[in-house]
Amino acid sequence: MTASLVIAPQWIGDAVMTEPLMRVLAKRGERLTVAAMPWVAPIYRAMSSVAEVIELPFPRGGLHLSARRALAKQWQGRFERAYVCPNSFKSALLPWLAGIPKRIGYQGELRLVLLNQRMANPSKHSRGSMVAHYLALAQADTDTTLQPKLDLSLDVLKNSLLHFDLKLGAYAVFAPGAEFGPAKRWPAAYFADIAARTDLPVVLLGSAKEASLCEDIAERINQERPKLARSLAGQTDLSQAMALIASAQAMLSNDSGLMHVAAAMGVPQLALFGSSSPLHTPPLSDKAVVMWLKTEANYQPPLDCAPCFERVCPLGHMRCLNDLTPERVALAWREVVSG
3-state class of 270 per DSSP? Answer: strand
Compute the distance between CA of residue 318 and CA of residue 281 in angstroms, rounded to an integer: 20
User: How many angstroms separate the CA atoms of 236 and 248, rounded?
Assistant: 15
* pLDDT, tens digit (0-9, with 9 covering 90-100), for 77-130: 999 999 999 999 999 999 999 999 999 999 987 888 999 999 998 876 666 789
Q: State how far the Cα of 76 lies from the Cα of 101, in Å rounded to an integer.
A: 10
* Region of poorest pLDDT, from 69-78, 135-144, 262-271: 135-144
Q: Model confidence over 200-224: pLDDT tens digits?
A: 999 999 999 999 999 999 999 999 8
Domain range 154-338, its CATH number among 3.20.20.150, 3.40.50.2300, 1.10.3720.10, 3.40.50.2000: 3.40.50.2000
The architecture in CATH of the region 2-138 reads 3-Layer(aba) Sandwich (3.40)
Minimum mean pLDDT range among 4-13, 79-88, 126-135, 172-181: 126-135
Range in 45-59, 136-150, 287-301, 306-320 with the lowest mean pLDDT: 136-150
Count other C-beta atoms under 10 Å from residue 132's C-beta: 17
Band (51; pLDDT cuts 50, 70, 90):
very high
Within this chain, domains 2-138 and 154-338 share the same CATH topology: yes
- Whole-angstrom Cα distance, residue 336 to residue 33? 37
209 C-beta neighbours (distance < 10 Å), count: 11
> Where exactly are the structural domains of the chain?
2-138, 154-338
What is the C-alpha to C-alpha distance for residues 225 and 253, in angstroms, rounded to an integer?
Answer: 21
10-19, 60-69, 303-312: least confidently modelled range: 60-69
